[in-house]
A and B are shown apart, each in its own frame.
Chain A
Amino acid sequence: MSQINRLNTGARTDSTSRINFTYNGKQMQGVAGDTLASALLANGVNVVGRSFKYSRPRGIVGHGAEEPNAIMQIGSGAATVPNLRATQVELYEGLESASVNGWPNVNFDLMSITGWFGRMMPPGFYYKTFMYPAKLWMTYEHFIRKAAGLGSAPVQDDPDSYDKLNQHCDVLVVGAGPAGLVAAREAARAGARVIIADEQSEFGGSLLASINSIDGQAATSWVDELVAELESFSNVQTLPRSTAFGYYDHNFLGILQRRTDHLGISADSGSRQRLHRVRAKRVILATGAFERPLVFAQNDIPGVMQASSVSTYINRYGVAPGNRMILFTTNDNAYQTAIDWHRAGRAVVAVVDSRSAPSGEIVGSGTGNGYSSNSRLRSD
């Protein structure tokens, strides 16, 4: 399978490089800077999982921590890791990935026959049945347990080691998007001891997928300059690939740094992951926002994706996740996705706007970009 959806527009990927990986046993290729999700989309993979209860096919919806469907088993043997989101797994040479549900495979799942009985299984149906005869519950439970769960825990001892650091700082910044980066810079210039952490592989947040400019400069190069300045301060500690997971009393935060997961399934030397136990004088939460998914019937079928994610795949990773797009929106922001899609040489079939008369600047600029305002439909 080739990278049928690969573009050369990716600001943070190198489309001339080649990284080999496998998905459900199939050999595939991605490029440097890819996540597993962007590489799968580049290879035209549409179905990445099955839903928990009815085994409905599911595709990639998001591009980060919010991804609900692309849950993967990464690696094999003692070092295997269950339930990683493909959108958060950085591609490395030899990566093995497999979808966690679906039997015999994710494209043809015999468990989906449970979907035929879906009407018999409303939420909480298990409280209403499996009670008689009482003796049979343990048998029922055996099969319920087998059908549940996502990936598999390893069954051998963990080959890796882990460590922790106790840290103190004046200002802890959680999130290295535009707000966090500028906050960290200002604190650092004022002489404060700063730690800035971000869960992604590189700093920049939403700007990594932006084609806008800041102070007359491309957003991505503005990020590069700011990060370089931060790294030049001796009073600043930068922690990429580091997730702040808990904010406890008296400004104590736990941060998990993934030190080697982007290099391979197991660490060659040193610890695989590090816990930073941070006691901060001040904490700045600059964690950004997720796009709120729209609710409509069948919104879980493969091919439905968040608008911001479509733009991110095109602009950051150089991947167009499909050929023809219908854009459904409630606001001006998503129109940028139609523009990006058109720029990627793909067809915008229609824009469906729930508002009766959208009139923002970006809405108008769409005319002449492959879709016209009269293709808008009112959802009411």
Chain B
Amino acid sequence: MLLIHCPHCREDREEEEYSYSGEAHIVRPLEPEALSDQEWGDYLFFRKNPKGIHHEMWYHAVGCRRYFYATRNTLSYEILETYKVGEQPQVSAQGAAQ
């Protein structure tokens, strides 16, 4: 039962207020028709699935109804930061490992 800080509302709110939207920072191909099947399949279906630090997108569904990003440890479930779309994470797997 996560307690998640919404960077827009600036409040800690219950997990049930949010919905999960998967891996963060995925860039949609500008010209899908120019991609090979391999590249298009990778874009659609292949996601990072790390055991540890993960950057992911959340939606504050019953709050401000805006998207944001979180850096979360998928083993301990500790949330290391949340930040707005357009911003970059301060914590990374490489940084945490050092």
Contact = CB atoms under 8 A, between A and B. Distances in A.
Given A250-B3, A250-B77, 11 more contacts: A248-B1, A249-B1, A249-B2, A249-B77, A250-B1, A250-B2, A251-B3, A252-B1, A252-B3, A279-B3, A279-B14
Interface of B: 1-3, 14, 77
Contacts of B1: 248-250, 252
Nearest to B4: A250
Contacts of A248: 1
Contacts of B2: 249-250
Contacts of A279: 3, 14
A248 B14 CA distance: 13
A251 B2 CA distance: 9
Contacts of B77: 249-250
B59 to A, nearest CB: 19
A249, A251, A279 interface centre (most CB from chain B within 10 Å): A249
Contacts of A249: 1-2, 77
Identify the 3 closest CB pairs spanning chains A and B, nearest first.
A252-B1, A250-B3, A248-B1
B1, B2, B3, B14 interface centre (most CB from chain A within 10 Å): B1
A168 to B, nearest CB: 10
A77 B3 CA distance: 42
Nearest to A251: B3
B54 to A, nearest CB: 15
A19 to B, nearest CB: 41
Nearest to A246: B1
Interface in A41-63: none
A154 B14 CA distance: 35
B30 to A, nearest CB: 39
Nearest to A166: B14
B6 to A, nearest CB: 14
A252 B77 CA distance: 13
Interface string A239-265: 000000000111110000000000000
B9 to A, nearest CB: 16
Nearest to A253: B1
A248 B2 CA distance: 9
A107 to B, nearest CB: 48
13 contacts: A248-B1, A249-B1, A249-B2, A249-B77, A250-B1, A250-B2, A250-B3, A250-B77, A251-B3, A252-B1, A252-B3, A279-B3, A279-B14
A252 B15 CA distance: 11
B20 to A, nearest CB: 15
A278 to B, nearest CB: 10
